[in-house]
Amino acid sequence: MHHIFGHTSPDTDAFASAFALAYWLNAQHINAIAYRLGEPNLETAFVIRHLFAHFTKDFADTPSQLLPYLDPNNPLATLQHGDKIGLTDHNESSQSIANVGDFDICFVIDHHKINLATPHTAYVRISPVGCTCTILYEMFAQKAIAIPPSLAMLMLSAIISDTLNLTSPTTTNDDRQVVENLLKIIGLSHDDKDKFAHAMFMAKSDISHLDARQILLMDYKEYDFCGHKWGIAGIETLNSEQVLARRDELSVMANTLKSDKNLDHLMIAIADIGTKTGYALAYDDAQNTIIAQAFNAKASDDGVFTLSGVVSRKRQIVPALENYYRHTPNNTT
């Protein structure tokens, strides 16, 4: 049995890519089961509800959250040492289950930078495309394995999510081509795809019932920049005003999380999907200095950096901070 999962704090691609890889393996009579390492976020929950409503039969025996839970802090509750595993939408151990090296990594499908060592030759496909599901589509095509409409809808949702409906700077021609092919499989028009994307982003934007901690951990990743430990909490929204209105509450919680997680800095990076504008909260003097320099920006009097066009953590925010640390000798912050 192969145990497949995406990263912790799972997003739509983490769900979809794990589900798709397990499907691809089972179609080749290689036993596989997919898991989630956490609860679906608002957008992913919307996608799952849509799938269950429109492809009811396909998901009749499926757990209510699409995938069964695997506790990333206690994987041995589900797995045994040496079990065969597959990682999707991540490859770095910091984003995976605890002690991932104790298991037999057989598959890695991802679209992030690589930092990986395996004792045996694994099947590894990593590509600088916008979404892991774009790579998985190519794997299905290569083996001539048919993608049922329900799975195509799930994979399409992941690509829409990761590429902000093909508008993010991470989008490649491969992503665009795969979207065309998936639309044909589903029988969905471009118009309906755009409406669905809007509904996904609306679902993600409705954070009124979430507390500050939940908002910051919704799409949270950690990075090491020249020995400086950063957390970057991403908040993609169609309603940036609603998020900015809660900046005091978010700033207080950011300081708490910073100390809980032993971070040097925690950046709150808001991306307005509608206007394609990025915002960062200016809540800490030392961090403000870095953000100002890294993005050549100035905080407003009410404590907000406006980062025009900056909507991708991977393609824009992380490289800017890497660049800052690389070119700022003797920085001590």
User: What tokens were used for 198?
Assistant: 């809007």
Give 108 or 207: the residue with its C-beta nearer to a second copy. Answer: 108
Stretch in the footprint of a second copy (CB under 8 A) among 70-78, 136-144, 248-256, 273-281:
136-144
Member of 220, 228, 322, 331 binding a second copy (CB under 8 A): 322
148 touches a second copy by CB under 8 A: no
Q: Which residues of 168-197 are buried (b: 16+ CB within 10 A; e: fewer)?
A: bebbbebbeebbebbbebbebeeeebeebb
Q: Report in angstroms how near the CB of residue 127 gets to a second copy at its nearest.
A: 5
* CA 306 vs CA 278, 285, 331: distances in Å: 6, 17, 24
Q: Report in angstroms how near the CB of residue 111 gets to a second copy at its nearest.
A: 6
141 touches a second copy by CB under 8 A: yes
Task: Check: CB of residue 282 under 8 Å from CB of residue 289.
Answer: no
Q: Report in angstroms how near the CB of residue 138 gets to a second copy at its nearest.
A: 6
Long-range contacts of 90-96 (CB under 8 A, 24+ apart): 90/6, 90/7, 90/14, 91/115, 91/116, 91/126, 92/116, 94/222, 95/7, 95/8, 95/221, 96/5, 96/7, 96/8, 96/37, 96/72
Give 24 or 196: the residue with its C-beta nearer to a second copy. Answer: 24
Give 112 or 246: the residue with its C-beta nearer to a second copy. Answer: 112
∠ CA 268-38-158, nearest 5°, is 75
Q: Please state, in angstroms and rounded to a whole number, the distance separating the CA atoms of residues 226 and 217.
A: 24
Give 213 or 315: the residue with its C-beta nearer to a second copy. Answer: 315
Q: What string marks each residue from 101 to 130 as x (binds a second copy by CB under 8 A) or -?
A: ----------xxxxxxxxxxxxxxxxxx--
Give 126 or 183: the residue with its C-beta nearer to a second copy. Answer: 126
Q: Report in angstroms how near the CB of residue 104 gets to a second copy at its nearest.
A: 12
For tokens 């989630």, the residue is: 36
Please classify residue 149 by burial: count the beta carbons closer than 10 Å to its beta carbon, then call 0-12 exposed, 13-18 middle and 19+ buried.
Answer: middle
Residue 266, beta-bridge partner list: 231
Q: Report in angstroms how near the CB of residue 118 gets to a second copy at its nearest.
A: 5
Q: Report in angstroms how near the CB of residue 110 gets to a second copy at its nearest.
A: 8
Q: Report in angstroms how near the CB of residue 172 gets to a second copy at its nearest.
A: 11
Give 84 or 204: the residue with its C-beta nearer to a second copy. Answer: 84
For tokens 């608002």, the residue is: 42
Q: Report in angstroms how near the CB of residue 261 gets to a second copy at its nearest.
A: 23
User: What tokens were used for 232?
Assistant: 């970057």
Give the footprint of a second copy on residues 255-314 (CB under 8 A). 314
Task: Check: CB of residue 161 under 8 Å from CB of residue 43.
Answer: yes
* Relative orientation angle of helices 149-162 and 12-27, to the nearest 10 degrees: 140
Q: How many residues bind a second copy (CB under 8 A)?
A: 23
Tell me which residue of 127, 33, 159 sits closest to 86, measured CA to CA: 33
30 touches a second copy by CB under 8 A: no
Give 117 or 146: the residue with its C-beta nearer to a second copy. Answer: 117
142 touches a second copy by CB under 8 A: yes
Give 226 or 245: the residue with its C-beta nearer to a second copy. Answer: 226
Biggest CA-to-CA distance, the chain: 61
**Identity (one letter) of the amino acid at 312?**
S
Give 42 or 126: the residue with its C-beta nearer to a second copy. Answer: 126
Stretch in the footprint of a second copy (CB under 8 A) among 14-22, 134-142, 160-168, 264-272:
134-142
Q: Report in angstroms how near the CB of residue 126 gets to a second copy at its nearest.
A: 4
What is the binding site for a second copy (CB under 8 A)?
Answer: 111-128, 138, 141-142, 314, 322
